[in-house]
Amino acid sequence: MKVAVVGAGPAGVRAVEVLLGAGIRPVWIDEAADGGGRIYQRPPAPLQRDPKALYGFEAARASDLHAALDAAKPRADWRPDTLVWNIHSGRKQLNTLNAGRQGVVEYDAAILCTGAMDRVVPVPGWTLPGVTTMGGAQIALKSQGCGIGRQVAFLGSGPLLWLVAYQYAKAGAQIAAVLDTTAFATKLAAAPGLLRGPATFAKGLYYVAWLRAHGIRIAEGVTPLAIEGTGDVTGITWRDAAGRTQCAACDAVGLGWGLKPEAQLADLAGIPFDFDALQHNWVPRRDAAGRSPVPGLYLAGDGSGIGGAEVAELAGARAAMALLQDAGHAVETAALDRRLAGLARFRAALEKAFPFPAHLAAGLPDDALFCRCEGLTAGELRATITGPTVAAPELNRAKAVSRAGMGRCQGRVCGPAAAEILAAKLGCTVAEVGRLRGQAPVKPIPLVATP
């Protein structure tokens, strides 16, 4: 049986571990040079790799995962530095690109563990050099030992906001401000549910308390106004909860409002997507074990709906077990299923504590860029409703008319904001305007003269 696993983050590592344990040697592909995914990304060899310094409270978990990764690599058909740019679920083929060379991987069953990226709300000035995603800010620090600037502001909402600010402060960067778009009261209301995951909740409180104790400027319930600067970032302005305009000088800004699945392969495979109102994301359809409706395809980790690293590890293992079960192996999964169900309840509380600020995206000023690739403004997207062609009743028509999502990133970055802008303009829900359909290649691939 030919099995392929795409992705070597927490979900991919645990999936491969289970497969190897059952005597299956999968083709295991990751776009990066090493595994670990984004969360447990290891720095290139010349940098220090001390887990405590890099992963903090998660050091033990990171070390365990790296040990499993390193043990699994030589036993699997490990293919790093390899982009899977297309999937054909009928022929059961993956199209790959490695060092400029095209390849095809045949599979009988495949587990897609394609991870997530930051979910971003555009803010005027967000394309300036010096502005990165929250995840990007964290990667710069963890994987490269660098801050994105000397004096950094963080803007967004969710656990990563506080964690990254804490990590930056500990590393010696100046924190200009930590700006949370969620009001304190919203988080407080969700606190009882968060106690289902006491360790995670406590860590979150610790970061916030630490930042406060170190006199770092913190504001909650803010409305971002602009990232200031012409060539480079010089400051950030926002409206505070009381309605006053505030500003802070800074030379870099990290932005992020939780995560969104990198689910392009699931899309190209023809797996249907559903709008998950709680996480406010489109997620590929799967059962609790990770089976997709497309025969032979399994989904695990944040690429199948945001659950975080701990869930991803369990879900990766569970999806591999589902694959084995479907191939006739007897596998005991009851305990694992109970743990996954418990973590799902905690996740629901977390989403309630940090809701996606749809109103901020919807209210982006007409002259602000929302699509980085095509250089499009919110006003240009809104014009698709009233412009010289028939109205855009959904996102793909708006894409066709405005080019939103037609650039190099294929709407990864601007997609959520575009949907909010369009929904607000049409007066319908974001689920009703739909989602940008995926198109191969998943990421840019070069025109080449030789195959």
Binders of another protein among 2-31, rule CB under 8 A? 31
Which range binds another protein by CB under 8 A, 38-46, 69-77, 182-190, 284-292?
38-46
Q: Collect all residues with Cβ–Cβ distance below 8 Å to 242 and sequence separation of at least 6.
A: none
Q: Give bridge partners of residue 102 from the DSSP assignment.
A: 97
CB 24 to another protein: min, Å: 26
Q: Does 147 bind another protein (CB under 8 A)?
A: yes
List the one residue from 8, 40, 65, 95 that touches another protein (CB under 8 A): 95
Q: Does 448 bind another protein (CB under 8 A)?
A: yes
Which residues within the stretch 127-146 sit at the binding site for another protein (CB under 8 A)? 127-133, 135-137, 139-141, 143-146
Residue 155: closest CA among 360, 348, 346, 308: 360
Window 333-372: contact mask with another protein (x via CB under 8 A): ------------------------------------x--x
Number of residues forming the site for another protein (CB under 8 A): 81
Which residues within the stretch 46-85 sit at the binding site for another protein (CB under 8 A)? 46-48, 53
Q: Does 216 bind another protein (CB under 8 A)?
A: no
Question: Closer CB to another protein, residue 197 or residue 407?
Answer: 407
Residue 294: closest CA among 315, 318, 271, 319: 271
Token pair listed for 390:
């028939």
Which range binds another protein by CB under 8 A, 41-49, 318-326, 348-356, 357-365?
41-49
List the one residue from 232, 274, 366, 367 that touches another protein (CB under 8 A): 232
Q: Does 412 bind another protein (CB under 8 A)?
A: yes
Mode of pairing for the β-strands spanning 174-180 and 151-157: parallel
Surface-to-core class of residue 427, CB atoms within 10 Å of its CB (0-12 exposed, 13-18 middle, 19+ buried): exposed
Question: Closer CB to another protein, residue 283 or residue 343?
Answer: 283
Which residues within the stretch 254-283 sit at the binding site for another protein (CB under 8 A)? 262, 270
Cβ-count burial 262-292 (b if 16+ within 10 Å, e if not): bbbbbbbbebebebeeebbbbbbbbeebbbb
Q: Collect all residues with Cβ–Cβ distance below 8 Å to 93 and sequence separation of at least 6.
A: 87, 104, 105, 106, 107
Question: Closer CB to another protein, residue 186 or residue 439?
Answer: 439
Check: CB of residue 182 under 8 Å from CB of residue 144: no
CB 215 to another protein: min, Å: 20
How far is 382 from 297, CA to CA, in rounded Å?
38
Which residues within the stretch 153-172 sit at the binding site for another protein (CB under 8 A)? 171-172
How far is 387 from 385, CA to CA, in rounded Å?
6
